[in-house]
Amino acid sequence: MRGITIEERVISLAQYIIDSKDTVRGAAKKFCISKSTVHKDITERLGEINPALAKEVRKILDENKAERHIRGGMATKLKYMKK
C-alpha cells in the first residue's frame, strides 16, 4: 500500500472491515500490514478522521470480539475432525 497517505489507508481499512465484516487479523493480511497498525488505525486515527465511520467499524469489531471464542472452538473442532 505504498504511495497513499495514512488517512487514505485508514479510510480504506474502515470500508473494507465494514463491507466484509472481517477481523483485524483478516484486514491486516489483506492490506499486508501488521495487526498493530490496523488496530491503531481503526481505534485511534479513524476517530479523528471520520467519527461516524469509526462508530460503524467499532460495532463490527465488538461483534467479532464477542464471537471469537466461538470461532476458536470451531477451528479446534475442525482440526480434530481432520485427524
Check pLDDT > 90 for residue 77: no
Which domain, by its residues, includes 36? 6-82
Task: Specify the pTM.
Answer: 0.79
Distance CA(6)–CA(1), nearest Å, equals 10
Region 71-81: mean pLDDT is: 84
Cβ-based neighbours of 78, under 8 Å, separated by 6 or more: none
47 falls within a domain: yes
- Other CB atoms closer than 10 Å to residue 17's CB: what's the count? 24
Q: Please provide the average confidence, as pLDDT, over all residues in the chain.
A: 91
Distance CA(48)–CA(14), nearest Å, equals 13
Domain count across the chain: 1
1 falls within a domain: no
38 falls within a domain: yes
